[in-house]
Amino acid sequence: MTPISFEFYPPKTDEQRAQLDRTATRLKELAPDYVSVTFGAGGSTLSHTPEAIQRLRGQHAYDAAPHITCMGGSREEIRGLLKLYRALGARRLVTLRGDLPSGMVSPGDLRYASELVEFIRTETGDHFHIEVAAYPEMHPQARDSRVDIENFVRKVRAGADGAITQYFYNADAYFRFVDDVRAAGVDVPVVPGIMPISNFSQIRRFSEMCGAEIPRWIAQRMQSYGDDAASVREFGAEVVAQLCRRLIDGGAPALHFYTLNLAKPTLNVLARLG
Per the residue annotation, which of 7, 118, 131, 137 is the catalytic one?
7
Q: DSSP letter string over 105-162?
A: ---BS--SHHHHHHHHHHHHTTSSEEEEEE-TT--TT-SSHHHHHHHHHHHHHTT--E
Q: Would you say the C-alpha torsion 203, 248, 245, 35 has a positive or negative sign?
A: negative
26 Cβ contact list (under 8 Å, min separation 6): 263, 267
Residue in 139, 126, 129, 13 with CA at minimum distance from that of residue 68: 129
CA-derived radius of gyration, the chain: 18
Residues 92 and 229: their CA atoms lie apart, in Å, by 37
Residues 36 and 8: their CA atoms lie apart, in Å, by 6
Phi, psi dihedral angles at 246 (to 5 degrees): -65, -40
DSSP 8-state assignment for residue 6: E
Active site annotation includes 213: no
Residues 176 and 219: their CA atoms lie apart, in Å, by 23
Annotated active-site positions, please? 7
